């Protein structure tokens, strides 16, 4: 008998057909709200779940006794309790690599947008306020030759640093749990303590995953260490930063500007001041959201799910099941 799966979110028709060839696709109304009887009924039968931002809780896992694999269409898996999955013998797969360059493109775009005040200055033109030549109050900051500090130096962090070092001649500092000698050689990057990085960088870019150790890693104290001219970029997870401290630092000139793709709460609540601040470029979590990359991520997640449920080695397993 075919195994059953729940498809949460969008796959293209070809990917759905590929899964339907091997598995029964369970019909559901697109939510994982286990307070609903209909959702519990579907969960009770499912062997695999594919989707992104999946709100996985122990209660949800209790409701899915046949579950063998969760295949997330994302590299990050902070919404999923991996240890709990491992304890229950459930495999988790994610989609690294295929989104690295696209995410790094957006990270660097935010460095440029916040540094060169692109959104703010485009608004000057849009609102018909470009009446004389632009004066120093609207001048921006250089990017080339400035020091880029990478908080986290994994695949995406390295890809952003590569753009900065090779394309813009930026000296690179990085803080990371382990040293990266190959990248030090390739990019001239220097590893240092987080506090040193914060004090010496002109651009500070966050790419660490959200874990217990990195939650609120950057708060009031850390902002106070940065240069008043520093530009802060976050493409990792909003919860790595104390958002209230960030807002305060941007308001009182502790730092100069920020480019943000991620927020403590997403979608950003309408009460947030961040999108209305002139020195902030705020985006709706779109670092990997190109046609090509979302397609590649979905395909990778489909491949992972299919392989894992067929008892083969998936391409990207997060945990190990004995």
- Catalytically active residues, by annotation: 237, 266, 285
Residue 68 engages ligand 8YV in binding (rule: CB under 6 A): no
Burial of 156 (0-12, 13-18, 19+ CB in 10 A): buried
Biggest CA-to-CA distance, the chain: 73
- Smaller CB separation from ligand 8YV, 43 or 99: 99
Residue 7 engages ligand 8YV in binding (rule: CB under 6 A): no
- Smaller CB separation from ligand 8YV, 77 or 223: 77
How many of the chain's residues bind ligand 8YV (CB under 6 A)? Answer: 9
Contact 94, 78 (CB under 8 A): no
Q: How far is the CB of 133 from ligand 8YV (least distance, A)?
A: 41
- Residue nearest ligand 8YV, CB atom distance: 76
Stretch binding ligand 8YV (CB under 6 A), from 74-82, 153-161, 188-196, 243-251 = 74-82
Among 75, 93, 161, 189, binds ligand 8YV (CB under 6 A): 75
Residue 74 engages ligand 8YV in binding (rule: CB under 6 A): yes
Contact 144, 120 (CB under 8 A): no
Residue 316 engages ligand 8YV in binding (rule: CB under 6 A): no
How does strand 172-175 pair with strand 190-191?
parallel
Q: Which residues ranging from 254 to 293 are in contact with ligand 8YV (CB under 6 A)? A: 285, 288
Give residue for tokens 């070092």: 165
Among 6, 11, 49, 99, binds ligand 8YV (CB under 6 A): 99
Q: How far is the CB of 154 from ligand 8YV (least distance, A)?
A: 12
Q: Which residues pair with 266 in a beta bridge?
A: none
Residue 52 engages ligand 8YV in binding (rule: CB under 6 A): yes
Measured distance CA(28)–CA(287) in Å, rounded: 29
Q: Which residues pair with 70 in a beta bridge?
A: 49, 92
Supply 32's token pair.
């994982």
Stretch binding ligand 8YV (CB under 6 A), from 40-48, 71-79, 157-165, 221-229 = 71-79
Among 54, 73, 218, 280, binds ligand 8YV (CB under 6 A): 73
- Smaller CB separation from ligand 8YV, 76 or 107: 76
CA distances for 100 relative to 96, 232, 234, angstroms = 7, 20, 15
187-194 long-range contacts (CB < 8 A, ≥24 apart) are: 187/158, 187/161, 187/162, 189/150, 189/153, 189/161, 189/165, 191/153, 194/151, 194/222
Binding site for ligand 8YV (CB under 6 A): 52-53, 73-76, 99, 285, 288
């Amino acid at each position: 008998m075919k195994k059953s799966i729940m498809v949460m979110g969008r796959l293209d028709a070809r990917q759905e057909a590929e899964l339907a060839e091997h598995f029964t696709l369970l019909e559901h109304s697109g939510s994982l709200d286990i307070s609903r009887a209909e959702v519990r009924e579907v969960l009770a039968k499912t062997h695999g779940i594919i989707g992104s931002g999946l709100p996985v809780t122990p209660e949800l896992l209790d409701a899915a006794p046949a579950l063998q694999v969760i295949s997330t269409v994302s590299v990050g898996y902070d919404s999923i309790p991996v240890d709990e999955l491992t304890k229950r013998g459930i495999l988790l797969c994610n989609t690294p690599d295929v989104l690295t360059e696209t995410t790094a493109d957006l990270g660097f775009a935010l460095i440029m947008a916040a540094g060169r005040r692109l959104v703010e200055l485009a608004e000057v033109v849009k609102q018909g306020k470009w009446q004389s030549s632009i004066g120093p109050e609207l001048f921006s900051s250089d990017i080339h030759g400035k020091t880029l500090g990478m908080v986290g130096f994994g695949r995406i962090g390295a890809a952003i640093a590569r753009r900065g070092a090779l394309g813009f001649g930026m000296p690179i500092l990085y803080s990371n749990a382990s040293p990266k000698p190959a990248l030090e050689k390739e990019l001239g990057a220097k590893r240092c303590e987080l506090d040193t990085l914060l004090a010496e960088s002109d651009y500070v870019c966050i790419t660490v995953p959200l874990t217990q150790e990195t939650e609120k890693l950057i708060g009031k104290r850390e902002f106070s260490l940065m240069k008043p001219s520093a530009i802060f970029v976050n493409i990792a997870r909003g919860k790595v930063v104390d958002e209230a401290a960030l807002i305060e630092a941007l308001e009182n000139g502790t730092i100069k500007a920020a480019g943000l793709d991620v927020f403590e709460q997403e979608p950003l609540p309408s009460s947030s001041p961040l999108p209305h601040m002139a020195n902030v470029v705020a985006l709706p979590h779109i670092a990997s959201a190109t046609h090509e990359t979302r397609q590649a991520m979905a395909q990778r997640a489909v491949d992972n799910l299919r392989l894992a449920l067929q008892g083969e080695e998936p391409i990207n397993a997060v945990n190990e099941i004995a």
